[in-house]
Structure formats: structure tokens, C-alpha cells
Amino acid sequence: MISASSDFRHLRRQVFVLLASLVFAASALAQTDPLPSWNDGAARKAIVEFVKTTTTQGSPQFVAPAERIATFDQDGTLWVEHPMYSFVMYALERVAVLAKAKPELTNVEPFKTVLSGNREAMAKLSMGDLEKILAATFTGMTVDEFSAEVTKWIAGAKDPRWKRPYTELVYQPMQEVLQYLRDNGYKTYIVTGGGQDFVRQYSQATYGIPPEQVVGTAGVLKYGYDKSGKPILRKLPKLLLNDNDTGKPEGIQLMIGRRPHAAVGNSTGDRQMLEYTGAGDGARLMMLVLHDDAKREYAYGPAQGLPNTKVGTFTQQLYDEATKKRWIVVSMKNDWKKIFSFE
Amino acid sequence: MISASSDFRHLRRQVFVLLASLVFAASALAQTDPLPSWNDGAARKAIVEFVKTTTTQGSPQFVAPAERIATFDQDGTLWVEHPMYSFVMYALERVAVLAKAKPELTNVEPFKTVLSGNREAMAKLSMGDLEKILAATFTGMTVDEFSAEVTKWIAGAKDPRWKRPYTELVYQPMQEVLQYLRDNGYKTYIVTGGGQDFVRQYSQATYGIPPEQVVGTAGVLKYGYDKSGKPILRKLPKLLLNDNDTGKPEGIQLMIGRRPHAAVGNSTGDRQMLEYTGAGDGARLMMLVLHDDAKREYAYGPAQGLPNTKVGTFTQQLYDEATKKRWIVVSMKNDWKKIFSFE
């Protein structure tokens, strides 16, 4: 009996040592910097403070795990959008494929201009022209056909400046924020003005965000059958959700049904999403990425004293609103140690 | 040294015993019947077989955890729908509240009939009438106002037969299937013809399904501001998604973006969801609940040789299709040991 009891005490001591080292290891792990690509500064501080205050048991601003929702714009917020959104690059390149099947397009605008390859003329295409191009390349096929085309394209397409796949041009600091939030029980969503079915093809591999957590611009679908009688979902050229501006909070309610606790964007198209997020109770994190790094990425938009571009408009008005409402403006130049993982 | 080494061997042996008992406990836990309210039979067998074949590593029909999606109709599949869907009961009761604010409704059909309380006349209301009632009671207010009203109603409303809250009239065997699927890495969704914002108010507490995993009939939302300038989302009387029939696979693609591996329903409104699910590769589970238990619940619908009702139509044609396609028809009478947890 004495021996057994002594054995037990011995085991208990050993287990204690084992547990103590586990606790130590876990605590060391927890103290690893979750945001190594961020410089010290107000933005980084705000992110860490938000996560701590909303996830620490007993904090007056504690948020129940089920309610931890964070929404991120994609183009210009999670990856490069300049000189043109990737989904538009896809659409422009698809026009050539379309024209092969329908040669009559060759003589019809705006397809004629796109097929000419004249970049100057293409730059002058209007929003109405763009809508026609998107309708022609994002609709009229089945969901499966579209998914297969996008998957193929995204694997091969390269950004003209970096000569790398678009999916490598994701901002490393934002990848860290996504991971940091997920590690703290947040569900991360993309809420994009881009095509929902487009972004869903690479969201898991690129951002660790599954397709069901992608909200985007979406068209009407029509269930039917192919010639063999197999069920198909056809993409109709009719808009169901324009996931820009007011469409962002509307899409969030439609597809998530909860108000986010954190929202991140980079342009006027994200304004209402941030405003809606900020109108909730308790701690909320609203951030806007400012493209002010002409050397490592781009500098554009009126908030930079630069002319408007076709992408992500960060107006002076938005900048002033952000300042007034204490939304965090993230300076790519000053807040980010590195932009891309391959730097 | 010898002593230390002996100590180490001793510890190792103890840790081995500890681990072995943990493994044993875990395995005993795993062997606890996950479906205690199901009788032995083809339905139960099909569910267990489906879960095993899709979640066992090395199985030729293994499904990656991220792709494990299961969709469930609600009314008549997860809870009682007879004599009338709960969301319609809500709408009918709300008419009286509406009439207080707008007394002119008292003289306008179909509101006049609803306010009369004449059950015979109410039973004769058409689908067009019902749409008017739903538009008046499910739209015109903000999302927050609607949520608050539904939350209040669902806490107090009682089913006339069982004199219990609707949320207690959930089918215990289906609760076990939901839990069993989740325990095996499936994400469980509700895909309902009922109002999406309605079901979201109680889905977590009632089924363990969070609001973002509820797909349902949804209207257009409009972002704007209240008098104090606070952002609001207003529910417009304009249908965005009719989540019945073809609307179910369309809604699944819109809000989930993946084809389910399991789909469960109980009426013709679920036919396309099951068909779409079954058209995928590998193992798929399609089930229809047959209401054939007049004693413990209800028996209704043409598949029972009974006349059509206003709810969940399980036609003979659907029954024949299920048989042909080997969809599992769940007999409430024969497959379920108990219907409700309180029995």
C-alpha cells in the first residue's frame, strides 16, 4: 500500500511537471506575435485591443463566440486591385473566348473595343459597357461551367507588374489579421463587390475562407436540366444583389443575418458596411486600407491628393468621415512592414 | 542514472495506462447510440451507413470535412407543421396588432376575414390572400423590429393541440440526426420555405443551427437611416428568394455555394433540393419524412391516401419518385420510437 501510494505521488509529481511544461509552452505560443508584418502604431494597437476586449472572459465588451463575425472587402483590402480588379481582367480575357463561339460579337461594342486590345480605348469604356461585358462573361452558363473556367483562369493568370498569380498578391498583414481573428473565435467573411461565384473558387486556398463565407455581387439563378436530364443551375443575366455601397449591409443581413463586430474595406463602396458595423453596441473595429505606398504597391485616390481611378475610391470625404468616427485608417506605407509574403 | 531511467520507464508505463484508458473511454463514448429514438430499419441504417462511408478515412466515398454540408427543410421535417405553419400562425396573429395601428384594415380583405376569427372562412383564404397577409406582417418594418417581435411571439405562442411552445414540438429523432451529423463534421443548414428572418430568431436555441446557416424565403432589404440618423435595414414587400421548389437549390447555391451531401424534406417543395443533392458524385443521403402517424402526430397527404392539406404535400408522385431514386422515406409511425423529447 505504501509503495502504491508513493508511486501515485511520484506519478502525480511527474504529471504536474508535464502539465506545467505544457502550460508554459501554450503560453509561449500565445505570446508569439500574431501580427509580425505590422509596425507598432495606432492600427496594430487597435486590432490587438479589439481582439482582447471582445474575447477575454469577464471583459465588459466580451462577445459570445457565436456572435464573432468579421467582414472583409476583397479588392484593395485583401489583395491588389490596381490597375484593374481581377474579376474584370477575367471578364476582358473571356471576351476573346466568347467571340470564338459567337463571331458576330467582333463587330458589336463594347466587345469590339475589348477585342482590339487597344488599351487606351479600353480605358475609356463606361460602366454601362463594363456591365455588358460582365453580363456576357459571368452569366448564360451553368454554375459548374463558370466555376471550372474561373478555377482554370486563376491558376494561370498573372499580374502584369509582379508577374505572379493574383492569388500571391494578397497582403500579408491582412492574412495575419484574418488568422488572428480566426484564432480568437471569429468567423471571417469576404463581402465583395466582385462576383460571389468568382471569389468562391479560390477563397479557401487563398484566404482560408470557405465559399459559404463569401458574400458578393450575385445574379439570379435558374434551376433546370441539361439535355441528359441532369439538374443544373444556370446563371441568368439579371442582378440579384449588387454587393457595393448599401448592398454590403443588405448582403450581410441576407446571407449572414448578424451585424459584424469588425469590418474592413478600402473605398467608398465599403462605407455603409463600416457604418452599419459601427452602429452596433459594444466594441467594434472599423478599418480602411489607404493605398499610399507608390513604391511597394500603389498610391491612388483623392485622399492621396491623386486623381480618381477606376478602382477603389478613397475620397477625401471618406477620409474625413473615418477621422470623425475614429475608424482606423491603415497606411500601407507606415503600418505595414511588408506588403507581400514573398518580399 | 539507473534510478532516473527506472523512474522514466515507470512514468512511461503509467502514462501508457492513462492513455489506454482515455482511448477506451473515447471509444466507449463513440459507441453510444447516436440515434436512440430511431427503430432499427432501413432509414436508420441508411443514415448510419452514410455517415460512416463519408467520414471514415480511406473510404472510397470519403468527403473532406470542409465539404460536409447537410440541408434540412424545417416545417414538417424538423417540427410540426400541421394544422398550419408556425410562420403563418405568426402572420395571422400579427394582423390584429397591425389593425390597431391601421384601423382601415378592419374593412379590407383578406384582413377582415382574419380579424373575424371565423376559422371556416380563414381556411378558405387563397394563396394570394396569404401573400398579402405575409407582405403586411413580414415587411414594412426594420430587421431589428421584426426580430424583436418574432422573438417575443415565439417565446409565448403555443400549439393548440399540445399546449406547448412550437419550439418544443421538434422531432426528437431529427434532433439526433442533426447532432449526429455535426458530431461527424457536417455543417447543418435549414433550407426552409418559411421566412428566413423568422426562423433565424430561434434556430440556434431550438436546433443548434446558427442564423448564418438558415436559408429561407427572403425579401429585398433597403439600407437607410432612422430619424436619429442611425443606420437601419428595412424589409421591403418585394420577394428576393422564394425558397420553395426550384428556389431551394437556387437558394443553396446563393447562400452556401456548395452542393449538399445530405438533404432532408417532407414535401413536393423539397423535391428539387433532394434531386440536386442526389445529382452529385459519391455517397449522398436523400430523405423524406412521411406523416403517417395519426395517433402520435398526424397522417396527411395523398401518399397516405388522404386529401391534400394546406401544408407539406407528399404526393403519390413524389412517393413513386422517391422509391425509384432510392430516396429514404422515413415513416414516423414505424421508424421513430418517439416523436417528441417530452413523450
User: Do B218 and A256 lie within an 8 Å CB cutoff?
Assistant: no
What's the grid cell of residue A148?
Answer: 471550372
User: Do A231 and B275 lie within an 8 Å CB cutoff?
Assistant: yes
* DSSP 8-state symbol, A329: E
Residues of B in contact with A271 (CB under 8 A): none
Tell me the one-letter amino acid at B323. T
The predicted-structure confidence for A260-278, as pLDDT tens digits, reads as follows 999 999 999 999 999 999 9
- Identity of the residue in A11, A210, A253 whose CB atom sits nearest the CB atom of B221: A253
* Mean residue pLDDT across chain A: 92
Classify strands A187-195 and B69-72 as parallel, antiparallel or unpaired: unpaired
pLDDT of A1: 43
pLDDT at residue A108 is higher than 70: yes
The CA distances from residue A4 to A11, A106, B12, in Å, are 10, 90, 16
Q: Which residue has the higher pLDDT, B129 or A25?
A: B129
- Identity of the residue in A210, A240, A255 whose CB atom sits nearest the CB atom of B66: A210
> Are the C-beta atoms of B75 and B81 separated by less than 8 Å?
yes
Query: In chain B, which residue's Cα lies nearest the Cα of A236?
Result: B250
* DSSP 8-state symbol, B60: T
Q: What is the ipTM of this complex?
A: 0.90
Query: In chain B, which residue's Cα lies nearest the Cα of A226?
Result: B279
Query: What mean pLDDT comes out for the span A176-201?
Result: 98
Residues of A in contact with B204 (CB under 8 A): 66
Q: Is A212 on the interface with B (CB under 8 A)?
A: yes
Each residue's pLDDT expressed in tens, for chain B with a length of 343 residues: 445 555 656 666 666 666 666 655 655 555 689 999 999 999 999 999 999 999 999 999 999 999 999 999 999 999 999 988 999 999 999 999 999 998 998 999 999 999 998 888 988 888 899 999 999 999 999 999 999 999 999 999 999 999 999 999 999 999 999 999 999 999 999 999 999 999 999 999 999 999 999 999 999 999 999 999 999 999 999 999 999 999 999 999 999 999 999 999 999 999 999 999 999 999 999 999 999 999 999 999 888 888 877 787 899 999 999 999 999 999 999 999 999 999 8
- Identity of the residue in A11, A223, A254 whose CB atom sits nearest the CB atom of B249: A223
The full set of domains in chain A, from first to last, is 35-83+170-335 (3.40.50.1000)
- Identity of the residue in A230, A257, A276 whose CB atom sits nearest the CB atom of B231: A276
Query: What mean pLDDT comes out for the span A130-159?
Result: 96
- Identity of the residue in A222, A250, A258 whose CB atom sits nearest the CB atom of B223: A250
Closest CA of chain A from B211, distance in Å = 6
Give me the residues paired with residue A223 across strands: A233
Query: What mean pLDDT comes out for the span A166-187?
Result: 98
> Are the C-beta atoms of A182 and A176 separated by less than 8 Å?
no
Q: Is B279 on the interface with A (CB under 8 A)?
A: yes
Rounded Cα distance, B147 and A145, in Å: 39
> Are the C-beta atoms of B285 and B263 separated by less than 8 Å?
yes
Q: Is A261 on the interface with B (CB under 8 A)?
A: no
Residue of A233, A241, A248 to mutate for B, most B C-beta atoms under 10 A? A233
Q: Is A275 on the interface with B (CB under 8 A)?
A: yes
- Identity of the residue in B66, B221, B254 whose CB atom sits nearest the CB atom of A221: B254
Residue of B254, B258, B270, B321 to mutate for A, most A C-beta atoms under 10 A? B254
Rounded Cα distance, A68 and B135, in Å: 32
The predicted-structure confidence for A204-226, as pLDDT tens digits, reads as follows 999 999 999 999 999 999 999 99
For A38, the 3-state DSSP assignment is strand
Q: Is B238 on the interface with A (CB under 8 A)?
A: no
Residues in chain A: 343
Closest CA of chain B from A145, distance in Å = 14
Q: Residues 78 to 137 of A: which have CB under 8 A from any B CB?
A: none
User: Do B66 and A246 lie within an 8 Å CB cutoff?
Assistant: no
What's the grid cell of residue A314?
Answer: 478613397
